[in-house]
Chains A and B, each alone.
Chain A
Amino acid sequence: MSIDTMERREAPPGGRPDPDPGLPGAGPRRRRGPGASQLTAWAFLAPVVTYLAVFYVWPLVRNVDLSTHDYTVRSFIDGTAPFIGLENFADVFASPTFGPALMNTLLFTGVSIAFQFTIGMALAVFFFQRFPLSSTLRALFLVPWLLPLIVSASTWSWMLNSESGVVNSVIRTLGGDQVNWLTSPQWALTSVIIANIWIGIPFNLVILYSGLQNIPGDIYEAAALDGANAWQVFRRITFPLLRPVSAITILLGLVYTLKVFDIIWIMTRGGPGDASTTFAIWSYQLGFGSTLPSFGPAAAVGNLLIVMALVCGFVYLRVQRKQDRS
Chain B
Amino acid sequence: MLHLPGPLTEHPQQFREEPPVISFIRSKRTAVAMVGLAAATLALTGCAGGAGGGSSDAASGTYTFWDPYPQFDDTSDWAKLIEKCGTEAGVTVERTGYDTSDLTSKALLAGQQGNSPDLLLVDNPVVSTLAEAGLLTDTDETGADTSAIEANILAAGQLDGKTYGVPIGANTLALYYNKTVLDAAGVDPASITDWDSLTSALEAVSASGGKGITFSGIGTEEGSFQFLPWYWGSGADLTELDSDDAVSALTLWTDWVEKGYAPNSVINNTQTTSWQEFLTGEYAFSENGTWQLAGVKESGIDYGIISIPSKDGGAAPAPTGGEFLTVPVQSDDARYEVSEKIQSCLTSTDNLVATDTTLSYVAPTKDAQTEQVATDPDLEPWVTAVADAKGRTSDDLGTDYPKISEQLWKAVQNSLSGSSDPADALKEAQQAAASATE
Contacts and interface: CB of A to CB of B under 8 A. Distances in A.
Given A259-B38, A275-B419, A292-B402, 6 more contacts: A77-B112, A163-B263, A261-B19, A274-B410, A299-B40, A302-B39
B326 to A, nearest CB: 15
The 8 closest A-B pairs by CB, nearest first: A302-B39, A59-B40, A272-B417, A271-B219, A183-B267, A292-B402, A290-B402, A162-B264
Contacts of A285: 406
A194 interface: no
Given A259-B35, A275-B419, A290-B406, A73 B132 contact: yes
8 contacts: A76-B112, A163-B265, A183-B267, A185-B419, A287-B42, A290-B221, A292-B401, A302-B39
Contacts of A302: 36, 38-40, 42-43
A184 interface: yes
B133 A291 contact: no
Contacts of B41: 59
Contacts of B129: 73, 291-292
B18 interface: yes
Interface in A197-224: 203
Given A77-B133, A251-B28, A62 B43 contact: yes
B15 interface: yes
A76 B134 CA distance: 10
A273 interface: yes
A180 B265 CA distance: 8
B359 interface: no
Interface stretch (B4-12, B294-302, B366-374): B4-12
Interface residues of B, number: 65
Interface string A162-187: 11100000000000001010111100
Contact of A73 (B7, B45, B399): B399
Contacts, number: 201
A56 B38 CA distance: 10
Contacts of B219: 268-273
Contacts of B267: 180, 182-183, 271-272
Secondary structure type dominating chain B contacts:
helix
A239 to B, nearest CB: 22
Nearest to A290: B402
Interface stretch (A17-25, A122-130, A306-314): A306-314
Nearest to A259: B35
A133 B111 CA distance: 61
A298 interface: yes
A271 B413 contact: yes
A77 B115 CA distance: 11
A196 B135 CA distance: 43
| A interface residue count range (under 10 / 10 to 19 / 20 to 34 / 35 or more) | 35 or more
B218 interface: yes
A139 interface: no
A59 B44 contact: yes
A211 to B, nearest CB: 16
Interface string B43-70: 1110000000000000000000000000
Interface string B1-38: 00001111000000100110101110010011111111
B163 interface: no
A258 interface: yes
A149 B23 contact: yes
A63 B39 CA distance: 7
B42 A288 contact: yes
Interface of A: 55-56, 59-60, 62-63, 66, 73-74, 76-79, 96, 145, 149-150, 157, 161-164, 178, 180, 182-185, 203, 248, 251-252, 255-256, 258-259, 261-262, 265, 268-275, 283-285, 287-292, 295, 298-299, 302-303, 305-306, 309-310, 313, 316
Contact of A273 (B130, B221, B413): B413
A63 B36 contact: yes
Contact of A261 (B21, B24, B264): B21
Contacts of A256: 24-25, 31
Contacts of B21: 149, 261-262
A252 B32 CA distance: 9
Interface string B400-438: 011101100010011011110000000010001000000
B36 A59 contact: yes
A279 to B, nearest CB: 10
A265 B403 contact: no
Nearest to A71: B43
A184 to B, nearest CB: 6
Contacts of B406: 285, 289-290
B268 interface: yes
Contact of A77 (B34, B37, B135, B218): B135
A290 B39 contact: no
B252 to A, nearest CB: 18
B31 A273 contact: no
Contact of B265 (A59, A150, A161, A255): A161
Contacts of A270: 219
Contacts of B135: 77
